[in-house]
Amino acid sequence: MPGETWSDADQASRGESAEVEAGSIEALWYPRAGEAVIRTEPLPSPKADEIRIRTLWTGLSRGTERLVFEGRVPETIALRMTAPAQAGSFSFPVKYGYCAVGEIEGETGPPVFALQPHQTGFVAARDAASPVPGSVPPRRAVLAANMETALNAVWDSGAGPGDRIAVVGAGVVGLLVAFLAARLPGAEVEAVDSDPARAAVAEALGARFRLPAEARAEADIVIHASGQPEGLALALSLAGHEAAVVEMSWYGDRSVPVPLGQDFHARRLRLVSSQVGEVAPSRRPRWSHARRLAKALALLADPRLDALITEEVAFADLPRELPRLLAPGAPGLCTVVRYETPSSPRAR
């Protein structure tokens, strides 16, 4: 629906969840920068190779969705940033999101994870819905997209057993990177962040937490996931001779200064980009996107990861809560969106 506009009255009327007609769903849309509304829209009947899914949970991806919410997706990469089930365009209105867990209607199989926006239900190709392992609660499974990003970054870094690894930025993705890196035999992993409130989670996931002033230099691998230019500068300063610095942060339309003077060249550092749209080159000949996502879901079978979910909101409350949840510097880690009262173990 590129170019569609809505009146202020229409936005107001959709600010709260309305009764949904049969064959319809409710979906979250961004009509313009900094605003969100809930719309009722038709849901097509599934074709022979498709399934209809009732949403249980979605996850709010703060870094990417903040840029979408604020209208800061550059035109030059808008096509690459388009989510698989996105509707509209980044020039608004747009329906965006990619962390959904739901149940297949009419079937008794396990819940599934799909790259879908925030909406009460959806139709998807059967092979685009990945079964959630029985060892992973559906609520935790919303972290699958973040885990997939973290897994790709560890592959891109080339980290191995015994390495000294620094992860700068202890948000959800950074902590998942630290969690994976800490499972490498003998690895010494530090999670570096300016927020001391994240220390307990980092330590529980197997990493030593340090404030920026306390971070140890001479790391074999540095992975940057803070989303801030100052974090990138710190990451470069922590890298040992001929070490790799993996840049995971995405800055949207911001121009970011990179300190490549002083001893950057003398230490022969490597600055490596990591982005989840492609499987890491070291795995690409053998790993498909589906195989990587299945592994990401399996890696979530650890109750310690529930600590990454620090807030839960009802879908109907999203338009009111999003400005707070996506504000720069908002506290907490991952916010999950609840689509029904979790009354059974399966829903949790």
341 has pLDDT over 60: no
Distance separating alpha carbons of residues 329 and 234, to the nearest angstrom? 19
18 has pLDDT over 60: no
CA distances from 227 to 75, 109, 282 (A): 20, 38, 25
Long-range contacts at 280-286 (CB < 8 A, ≥ 24 apart): 280/152, 280/155, 280/156, 281/156, 282/155, 282/156, 282/158, 283/155
Q: Return the pLDDT at 340.
A: 77
The structural domains of the chain, ordered by start, are: 8-143+300-338 (3.90.180.10), 153-273 (3.40.50.720)
CA distances from 260 to 7, 145, 231, 263, 267 (A): 48, 32, 14, 8, 11
Angle at 137 between CA 135 and CA 140, to 5 degrees: 120
With cut-offs at 50, 70 and 90, classify the pLDDT of residue 21: low
Q: What is the mean pLDDT of residues 45-54?
A: 97
Q: Return the pLDDT at 342.
A: 47
Element (H, E) at 210: strand 208-210
Q: Return the pLDDT at 348.
A: 60
Q: What is the mean pLDDT of residues 132-146?
A: 98
68 has pLDDT over 50: yes
Q: What is the mean pLDDT of residues 113-139?
A: 98
Q: What is the mean pLDDT of residues 35-54?
A: 97
pTM of the model: 0.90
With cut-offs at 50, 70 and 90, classify the pLDDT of residue 262: confident
Here the tokens at position 281 are: 């080159």
Exposed / middle / buried, residue 117 (Cβ in 10 Å: 0-12, 13-18, 19+): buried
Q: What is the mean pLDDT of residues 43-64?
A: 95
DSSP string across 225-264: -S-SHHHHHHHHHHEEEEEEEEE----TT--------TTT
Distance separating alpha carbons of residues 271 and 235, to the nearest angstrom? 10
Q: What is the pLDDT of residues 164-208, one digit of tens each?
A: 999 999 999 999 999 999 999 999 999 999 999 999 999 999 999
> Taking a C-beta distance cutoff of 8 angstroms, is the pair 173, 147 a contact?
no
Percent of the chain topping pLDDT 70: 91
346 has pLDDT over 60: no
Distance separating alpha carbons of residues 126 and 134, to the nearest angstrom? 19
ω into 93 cis (within 30 of 0): yes
Here the tokens at position 14 are: 């959709």
> Taking a C-beta distance cutoff of 8 angstroms, is the pair 292, 268 a contact?
no
Q: Return the pLDDT at 22.
A: 58
Residues near 346 by Cβ (< 8 Å), separated by ≥ 6?
Answer: 111, 138
**Residue 290 backbone zone (phi > 0: left; psi -120 to 50: alpha; other: beta):** alpha
- Which residues partner with 309 through β-bridges? 334
Q: What is the pLDDT of residues 84-116, one digit of tens each?
A: 999 999 999 999 999 999 999 999 999 999 999
121 has pLDDT over 60: yes
Q: Return the pLDDT at 7.
A: 46
Report the amino acid identity of residue 258. Answer: V
Q: What is the mean pLDDT of residues 113-133?
A: 98
343 has pLDDT over 70: no
Mean confidence (pLDDT) of the chain: 92
